[in-house]
Amino acid sequence: MRPLLPGAAILVVLTLAGCRTRSEKPATPPAISLSLVAVGDILMHQDVKAAAAQNPNGFPALWADLVPLFQGADLAFGNLETPIAPATGQPGVPFQFNAPESLPAALRASGFTVLSTANNHAFDQGPKGLRETLDRLRTERLVAIGSGEDRAQAEALQIVERQGIKVAFLGFTDLFNMDLNRRATEPWVRPLDLESALQAVREARSRADLVVVSVHWGNEYQHTPTKRQRDIARALVAGGCDVILGHHPHVLQPVDLLEADGRKALVAYSLGNFISNQDRMYRADLFPVAGGDNRDGAALRMRFEQRSGADGRNRMTLAEAAVEPLWTENNWGAASARREIRVIRVAAAESRVRTELDRLSDPIEGPKGVPDALLRRKAVLEKQEYLRTLILRRKRVAELVGESFVVR
């Protein structure tokens, strides 16, 4: 719930006290607004599943840093790049994923609300696995976009309402590992066809206040979108789209603002990985910065406000857009028997480590925390190296998505 504005709080007090005068103007109501947070690929590599299984708190522990962000938003989006089909599928193997039955409830408890199921891994466990995935997501009241138990359901417009605002979601994939779309009456994953997508966007524009399009596209491990992607993005925005959420390359790509008919739209060509076991061997002191790109992520934070347009009509308008850098910590190769993989918010971690370094370096507080001088020196060196990694990753994210979007 949003806190009362100071002026509103004063107004309540005066009214209760019977002190309001006729000359007072009523407080201006706050603008209707809606917040959306989006992250990239949720990948269920074997080690990611092992890390969740070995943690008493399961999957939510792997992204606990992000839970307040997800839960604090009106809507939270991610690309679910795995079936969840333990009953009808086979155990996951490299490049052919399957997730345990605990994942949907964990995603819901963490604050996720909308998931793209249109990607190149959607059919990893066949049509039955896709159907089971959708059933499990539906049970947890998670909105799946881009696939369905039949073609009509896969192409159905998903509208989610928050704060009285209708948000339409559409999902497409430009890539298939296995294209098992056979009959329109069987499980279906929606392919990206520009004419069909434009028709869907126009319909969504006529029925909703905001239109969000999820697209699985681009070249793996490439930091630049193709000309075709940029052309498609411009066409979708011209057709009425407000946000494009891209994924698949497993690395970050630029975030752009496009304009059409006086309306600004946000395009994230690739949000990178949210969680994975990629680049697990990376160390900032041994590898070039690019060696850790698969472990970088972005939490794209957007806020829309209802404003009056030139024609006098109220419309939802992009008011704020920012990228918060994320980093996947991974203890691969450590002596610990417990597998640990977790996503952190880089800015918060950087602030925390600076505070810890200040305390350890203080002539009074340092010895209180770590009495042994050699151990204290070792702790300082370790934290300095960790801080260096965080700074490098923050700068790398800014370089790839665009400096102007990154939270400072």
CA distance 363 to 102: 48
Q: Where are the domains of the chain?
A: 33-330, 347-401
CB atoms closer than 10 angstroms to residue 209? 21
Q: Supply φ then ψ for residue 3, to 5 degrees.
A: -70, 150
- What is this structure's pTM? 0.91
Torsion of CA 128, 248, 116, 196, to 10 degrees: -90
CA distance 49 to 125: 17
Q: Supply φ then ψ for residue 342, to 5 degrees.
A: -155, 150
Q: What is the pLDDT of residue 163?
A: 87
Q: What is the pLDDT of residue 30?
A: 74
CA distance 406 to 404: 6
Check residue 298 and give left, alpha or beta (phi > 0: left; psi -120 to 50: alpha). Answer: beta
Q: Supply φ then ψ for residue 349, to 5 degrees.
A: -65, -40
Q: What is the pLDDT of residue 337?
A: 81
The residue with tokens 């406000």 is 305
Fold entry, domain 33-330 = Purple Acid Phosphatase; chain A, domain 2 (3.60.21)
DSSP H or E segment with residue 213: strand 210-216
CA distance 329 to 116: 24
Q: Supply φ then ψ for residue 170, to 5 degrees.
A: -130, 145
Which tokens belong to 104?
A: 């949907």
Q: What is the pLDDT of residue 193?
A: 97
Residue among 377, 88, 36, 370 nearest 210 (CA): 36
The residue with tokens 């950087």 is 350
Q: What is the pLDDT of residue 1?
A: 40
- Give the 3-state secondary structure of residue 402: coil
**pLDDT tens-digit profile, the chain (408 residues):** 444 333 333 233 323 344 444 556 666 667 799 999 999 999 999 999 999 999 999 999 999 999 999 999 999 999 999 999 999 999 888 889 999 999 999 999 999 999 999 999 999 999 999 999 999 999 999 999 999 999 999 999 999 999 899 999 999 999 999 999 999 999 999 999 999 999 999 999 999 999 999 999 999 999 999 999 999 999 999 999 999 999 999 999 999 999 998 899 999 999 999 999 999 999 999 999 999 999 999 999 999 999 877 666 788 999 999 999 999 999 998 888 899 999 999 999 999 999 999 999 999 999 999 999 999 999 999 999 999 999 999 999 999 999 999 977
Residue among 177, 51, 190 nearest 125 (CA): 177
